[in-house]
Each structure stands twice: as C-alpha cells, then as structure tokens.
Amino acid sequence: MGFIETLKSIFSKAIFRIFLALTLLTVVASVAVLHFEGQQNPQEYRGLWDSVWWALVTVFTVGYGDIRPITVGGRLVGIFVMVSGATLVSLITATISSIFVARKIREDQGLESINFADHIIICGWNNKAESIIDTLFSLLKTRPPRIILVNELSEEEINSVLDRFRKFKVKFIRGDYTRNAPLERANIQDANTIILLPNLDQFDPSVADEKTLLATLNIKSSYPKKKVIAFIMISDNEIHVKRAKADEVIVSDQFVDFILAGDVAEPGLSNVVNTLFSAKSDHRVATAIIPARFKGKTFKEVSDHFKTQQKMLVLGVVAVVESIGVSDFLSSDSSHLDAFIERKLKEAGRTLGEENKTIVNLNPADDYIIQENEKAVVLI
C-alpha cells in the first residue's frame, strides 16, 4: 500500500477524524483566547501553554476555574469551545463504545480472531465434547489450558457451553474447521494441540469421519508440525486418518469388546479399567518426566526412584520419536549413500517418515537403559 493510500485509510476512520477535529479546536481556541486575553488578563493567560490548558479543561468540561476569560471575545471563544467540545467528546465516547460493543458481539458470534498461544483447539462437537473439556481441566489443574472451540453450534448451544466454563479461558470460533479461515482466527500457528471430534450433531458417523480426515489433511498440509489428535467413529477409517499424518487416532468404543469380554473371563476388570483411566480417581495412569540424571541409567533405578520419592509405580516408558521428512530427497534406488543416511538417522533415533511415532515399552527388563526422549508411564 502506497503513502497516499495509507493516509486515505487513516483519514477514513471516524475516530481519527474526531480526534483531529478536537485537536484543531484546541489549537484554534488556544490562539484565539490568548489574542483576546493576553493584553487585559496577562496574570492568568501568561502564554500559549496557559491557553492550551484552559481550552482542554473547557473542552472536557472539567471546570477547574483556575484560568477564566474576562473579555467579551474570550468568553465568546469559551462558549464556542463548550458547545463544540461537548459534541466532540460525546462523539468520541460513542465511537469508542461502539467499537468495543461491536467487537464483543463479533466475539460472542465466534467471528473475532483470538490471540491465544500454546492453546488447545477442539474442532467439531458431540456428546463427549463437554466431558473431554472437563477432563482436560481436571488433569491440568496446576496449569489450566486455554481452549478454543471451533464448530457451527447454534448461538444458544454454544452460549450454554461457554457459560459452564466461564471461569476457564474457553473461547469460540464459528466456522467449518475443514477450512483455513476459522483455524487461522483460532491462531492455529501458535496452538499446542488440535483435537478433531466427529461432528455427530450434523452428520452420520461415516460422513463425520470423512470431515475428520479432510480436516487432518488440511491441517497437516499447512502446519505439519502441529500435533493432531483425531477421534473417529468407524475403525475401518483409522488407517486413512493415520495416512493423513494424524499424530494420534482414537476410535470410538475401541476397548468396549475387551472390557466386556474381560469382565466375563476376569471378573472386576471393568472396575480396574475405570479406576486407571478416570480423571477423578485417586489412582490412575499418567506420564511423568524422568529426571535428567537418569538418562542412560537402568529402568530399575528409575522405578526405585519414583517408588521411594514420589510413591508412584512405574509401568514402563513412552517416547515420541521425531521424524525428519527426508524421504523425498533420497534417490529411488538403494545407493550406498542413501543407505548410509538412513542408518545414521536411525542411530540418532529418527525416522524417514513424515509423521512422529509414539513408542510404548511396558514392563521392560530391569537392565533396560533409559533413552533421552523417554517419559515414565506411572500409576499414581
């Protein structure tokens, strides 16, 4: 944009024009009153600064009375400043109020951009969504997350949700989460995690999974480093969402068959599972950061540390292996150079795939050596 266009843009704003008029009024009134009062009232109007002070006090109707005109010309200037100043100040107040009111309305309608950082974006909606939000706040009590909801719920429905979580930093963006515009208003570039929920209020399970797949492809193509957790309804779609580079894929009712059958074969198993995976339980499965001094130490040493110092039972370790997307620049044939690059990457704990991989190692041997990027899986 050129200089002239920039000036036109600035002058087109009503608030700027009002402030400009107020500034001109102050300058003109200060010069005029000094002209009339400078000779006959020099003890009060000693210079231009005293005139400016009088003009501002009059414009904003403060009325200190420390400086006042005594000539006819000065008082006529004062009357003009009173009337004009009251009008301009009212316009400024109304304009500023309208800006804030309009912004609040747009925010309530989900049309305003939100400048959160390191936040969680939850896309879509179903009957599990509020429970997921509740669980997030339960698990992260010490550092409650900022959450932005992106969906197309009705105003009444979304207001009910926002009212429930009013004490937390939950915001709303209206729009189709398979498109870039709503995600950009949710500041996806600074987000920590994106959760994709099947939109069962609008679509049947198969169509909802297609939307999840499309959203995953869209997000990963524009923001490949962002963590995406996809919740799908049909297990056959899991492989497609994984190919779309979702970091984690959760299938609805994935463990129901195991829990039901297990409760028959091993009575009480369902109660154990409920205890282990409930945010409200006193004893549940979680991950914990392994102190740096234990890198290169054995699993038994780490297990003893958590047991004695933190009263936690270590079940195993988990690690996210970060990939380097270099498969494209390797040649199609199996050259010695390509084999060398691949071997070195694997030695460094990296892969040639585009997606990160989560590796879980439960109940490892006591002499298992703890790696740099591993966390402990613990029972607290």
Range 3-108: architecture per CATH: Orthogonal Bundle (1.10)
Hey, where are the domains in the chain?
3-108, 120-254, 290-379
pLDDT in tens, 62-88: 877 778 888 888 889 888 988 888 888
Strand order in the sheet with 193-196: 170-174, 147-151, 120-123, 193-196, 227-232, 248-251
Q: Which of 25-39, 100-114, 127-141, 340-354 is predicted least confidently?
A: 340-354
pLDDT in tens, 184-225: 999 999 999 999 999 887 888 899 999 999 999 999 998 988
**Alpha carbon distance 342, 326 (integer Å):** 9
Distance of CA 140 to the CA centre of its chain: 16
pLDDT in tens, 285-341: 888 899 989 999 999 999 999 999 988 999 999 987 665 554 444 444 445 555 665
Per-residue model confidence (pLDDT) at position 322: 61
Cα–Cα distance list, 236 to 109, 210, 242, 317 (Å): 36, 12, 11, 29
**With bands split at pLDDT 50, 70 and 90, how would you rate the model's confidence at 109?**
low
Per-residue model confidence (pLDDT) at position 34: 87
Per-residue model confidence (pLDDT) at position 36: 86
Per-residue model confidence (pLDDT) at position 153: 87
**With bands split at pLDDT 50, 70 and 90, how would you rate the model's confidence at 147?**
very high
Specify the higher pLDDT residue, 7 or 139: 139
**With bands split at pLDDT 50, 70 and 90, how would you rate the model's confidence at 168?**
confident
Chain mean pLDDT for the chain: 82
Strand order in the sheet with 313-321: 285-289, 374-379, 313-321, 357-362
Per-residue model confidence (pLDDT) at position 328: 46
Specify the higher pLDDT residue, 28 or 264: 28
Could you tell me the CATH superfamily of domain 120-254? NAD(P)-binding Rossmann-like Domain (3.40.50.720)
Per-residue model confidence (pLDDT) at position 8: 57
DSSP, collapsed to helix, strand or coil, labels residue 212 as helix
The answer to whether 126 and 198 are in contact (CB under 8 A) is yes
**Alpha carbon distance 350, 373 (integer Å):** 11
pTM for the structure as a whole: 0.64
Question: Phi and psi at residue 169, in whole multiples of 5°?
Answer: -90, 75
Instruction: Give yes or no for residue 230 having a pLDDT over 70.
Output: yes
Helices (H), the chain: 3-11, 14-40, 48-59, 72-108, 129-139, 155-164, 180-185, 205-222, 238-243, 256-265, 269-276, 299-309, 336-347
| Per-residue tokens: 119 | 């936040």
| Positive/negative CA dihedral, 40, 43, 48, 54 | negative
**With bands split at pLDDT 50, 70 and 90, how would you rate the model's confidence at 350?**
low
**Alpha carbon distance 326, 239 (integer Å):** 22
